[in-house]
Amino acid sequence: MHISVLLYLWNAIYKDEQRLGNYSLSDLITYYVLQLLINGMVLSYISWQIGTEIREGSFSNFLVRPINYLHYWFTINLSGKLFEGLLISVVGLIMVGLLIDHIALPSDAVTMVHFALAMMLAGILAFEFDFAIGILAFWLVQIDSFKYMLQYGMFFLAGALLPLDLFPALFQQIAHALPFRFMVYFPIQIFLGKETQPYEGFAIASIWIIALYVVLRFGLKRGIARYEAVGK
Sheet strands (E) in 89-187: none
**Contact between residue 159 and residue 153 where contact means Cβ atoms under 8 Å apart:** no
**pLDDT score of 140:** 84
**pLDDT score of 232:** 45
**pLDDT score of 1:** 45
**Contact between residue 182 and residue 118 where contact means Cβ atoms under 8 Å apart:** yes
Backbone angles phi, psi at 184, to 5 degrees: -135, -60
Report the chain (232 residues): mean pLDDT per 10 consecutive residues.
Answer: 61 66 84 85 85 88 87 90 76 72 82 94 94 91 77 89 91 95 96 93 98 96 82 49
Q: Where are the domains of the chain?
A: 2-14+21-231
Q: How far apart are CA 34 and CA 39, in angstroms?
A: 8
**Angle value at C-alpha 171, between 170 and 173, nearest 5 degrees:** 65
Q: What pTM was computed for the model?
A: 0.87
